[in-house]
Amino acid sequence: MRVLFEELVFSTKKKEEIIDITGDVRAVLGRWGAKNGAVLLFAPHATASIVINENEPGLIKDVLDLLNALAPPGAGYYHDRIDRNAHAHLRSAAFPPYAAIPVKDGKMLLGAWQRILFVENDGPRAQRRVIVEYLGE
Amino acid sequence: MRVLFEELVFSTKKKEEIIDITGDVRAVLGRWGAKNGAVLLFAPHATASIVINENEPGLIKDVLDLLNALAPPGAGYYHDRIDRNAHAHLRSAAFPPYAAIPVKDGKMLLGAWQRILFVENDGPRAQRRVIVEYLGE
Amino acid sequence: MRVLFEELVFSTKKKEEIIDITGDVRAVLGRWGAKNGAVLLFAPHATASIVINENEPGLIKDVLDLLNALAPPGAGYYHDRIDRNAHAHLRSAAFPPYAAIPVKDGKMLLGAWQRILFVENDGPRAQRRVIVEYLGE
């Protein structure tokens, strides 16, 4: 059994933003010579999410709109008395910061329209990270 | 370590529909002689979801109603200018297309009322797939 | 490859409640001498959720408020004709009962503010369980 780790490190530019990390994850798996196993993506942040869906510019706006409808900023949250980002935490609670994807013959078994999307709920941030972990052969 | 894959392939009949795949997953694990490990279920579709919950006909309708309330069709989405299924993508973003379940002595450690439910958010479709992957002993 | 299981067993005191189980999971991993792998947390209940987020008392209330807004009790659900807890099932469908976290050198790679939170959506209950499973070296 092989257990391999890599960290994707990047900055975000906007308050809310979606970044497609599919290519980066593929590159890591290729470098490792992954065979059969699974990849676990995990963002070690309480105000970020990982979403598997299509990267179409209109849909990206729709996803951000849905997150905004789900937890609009400044809606009288208790946590805002301490920090001003309760909405971002709530979005990360509802849209979790991880995802798992099967890997076969070194390829992620994503569907034709599926991409791995990092969701920034509380940007901009100088450094965001996604842990790419492979468990497999 | 064993890494095993199987694909469940089926059609859906309605625009929105929930299909209980628990028995199919159990049958696959039985055929494999799975021991201790985990099963990863992954639908390679951007408009489907996997939900772990009770399969009670009333509740099934309630889940579909909740998805409809969360992302009603045709609510002015940007993605609808390209395709007419933004609501289905949003439901798959909010209710992810994967789930992981522990397997012990060949049995999934589901609770008494938990079933594995495939959610069709954009049917009917001639072919939908769920990848069943086992990682374990 | 090592595949290890443990069950956390506890009671809940309120109708809705969030219990931080991070310390318990850490203790289990320490006892096992976990190295590199992943931990899968799975609540075998159709009315509970696992959330990864900050354990700040105000935010805990905000998360419970969000769940209540998403699926308020007694909102004319079909499942309520059979049982009175459709809202709790719906919350567990929307906020899943599992989570996966990378483990490196025996430590979960949680972010500074991330904690593992068990969400009781239908309490109080004399016995709730979370399966802690480790897959790794």
Domain assignment present for residue C6? The answer is yes
The structural domain count of chain B equals: 1
Contacts of A89 in chain C (CB under 8 A): 53-54, 59, 62-63
Residue C12 is given by DSSP the state: -
The mean pLDDT value of chain A amounts to 98
Q: Which residues contact C56 (CB under 8 A, 6 or more apart)?
A: A79, A82
pLDDT digits (tens, 9 = 90+) for A18-62: 999 999 999 999 999 999 999 999 999 999 999 999 999 999 999
Cross-chain CB nearest to A3 (options C65, C100, C137): C137
Instruction: Kindly write down the DSSP assignment for every residue of A27-75, as one continuous string.
Output: HHHHHHT--SEEEEEE---TTEEEEEE---HHHHHHHHHHHHHHS-TTS
Contact (CB, 8 A) for B128 and B45 = yes
In a domain, B13, yes or no: yes
Contact C62 A81 (CB under 8 A): no
CB contact under 8 Å between C96 and B96, yes or no, is: yes
Q: Which of B10, B3, B2 is nearest to B133 (CA)?
A: B3
Predicted pLDDT at B132: 99
Cis ω for the linkage preceding A124 (within 30 of 0): yes
pLDDT at site B111: 98
* Tens-digit pLDDT profile for residues C49-103: 999 999 999 999 999 999 999 999 999 999 999 999 999 999 999 999 999 999 9
Which of B2, B42, B66, B115 is the best mutation test for C, with the most CBs of C within 10 A?
A: B66
Q: What is the mean pLDDT of residues A114-130?
A: 98
Tell me the shortest Cα–Cα distance from A46 to chain C, in angstroms. Answer: 5
Instruction: Give the model confidence (pLDDT) of C20-60 as tens digits.
Output: 999 999 999 999 999 999 999 999 999 999 999 999 999 99
Interface A-C, measured as beta-carbon pairs within 8 A, has a size of 93
For testing contact with chain B, the best of A18, A40, A53 (most B CBs within 10 A): A53
The H-or-E segment that residue B26 falls in is: helix B22-32
**Chains contacting C (3 or more CB pairs within 8 Å):** A, B
Residues in Cβ contact with A63 at an 8 Å cutoff, skipping those fewer than 6 apart = A18, A51, A53, A117, A119, B89, B90, B93
Residue from C8, C14, C110 nearest C64 by CA:
C14
Does a structural domain hold residue B78? no
Q: Which residues of A touch C36 (CB under 8 A)?
A: 3, 5
Mean pLDDT within A128-133: 98
CATH number at residue B110: 2.60.120.460
B24 close to B8: Cβ distance less than 8 angstroms = yes
Nearest chain A residue to B84 by CA distance is: A59
Q: For residue A101, which residues of chain B lie inside 8 Å, CB to CB?
A: 42, 98
| B98/A45 Cα distance (integer angstroms) | 21
Of the partner residues A3, A40, A79, the one whose CB lies closest to the CB of residue C62 = A79
Compute CA distances C91 → A27, A72, A76, A110, C71, whole Å: 37, 19, 22, 27, 6
Instruction: State residue A39's pLDDT score.
Output: 98
Q: Which domain holds residue A54?
A: 2-136
Whether C77 is in a domain gets the answer no
CB atoms within 10 A of CB A6: 17
3-state secondary structure of A98: strand
Rounded to the nearest angstrom, the gap between the alpha carbon of residue B32 and the centroid of all alpha carbons in its chain is 21
- Nearest Cα residue to B132 out of A26, C5, A38: A38
Contact list in A for residue C66 (CB cut-off 8 A) is 70-71, 90, 93-94
| Cβ neighbours of residue C26 closer than 8 Å, sequence gap 6 or more | C108
Tell whether B77 is covered by a domain.
no
CA distance B17 to B119: 6
pLDDT-above-90 percentage for chain B: 100
CA distance C42 to C47: 12
Q: How far is CA C82 from CA A127, C41, C91, in A?
A: 50, 30, 18
Whether residue C110 and residue A81 make contact (CB cut-off 8 A), yes or no, is no
Per-residue model confidence (pLDDT) at position A126: 98
Q: Which residues are CB-contacts of B36 (< 8 A; sequence separation ≥ 6)?
A: B103, B104, B105, B136, B137, C3, C5
Burial call B80-119: b when 16+ CB within 10 Å, e when fewer: beebebbbbbbbbbbbbbbbbbbbbeeebbbbebbbbbbb
Q: Is C97 a member of any domain?
A: yes
Query: How many angstroms separate the Cα of A135 from the Cα of each of A37, A61, C5, C104?
Result: 5, 33, 18, 12
Cβ atoms of C32 and C127 closer than 8 Å = no
| Strand, helix or coil for residue B111 | coil
User: What is the three-class DSSP state of C109?
Assistant: coil
- Full DSSP string of C18-67: EEE-HHHHHHHHHHHT--SEEEEEE---TTEEEEEE---HHHHHHHHHHH
pLDDT at residue number A114: 98
Interface contact A5-C104, CB threshold 8 A? yes
- Nearest CB among C37, C58, C113 relative to A135 is that of C37
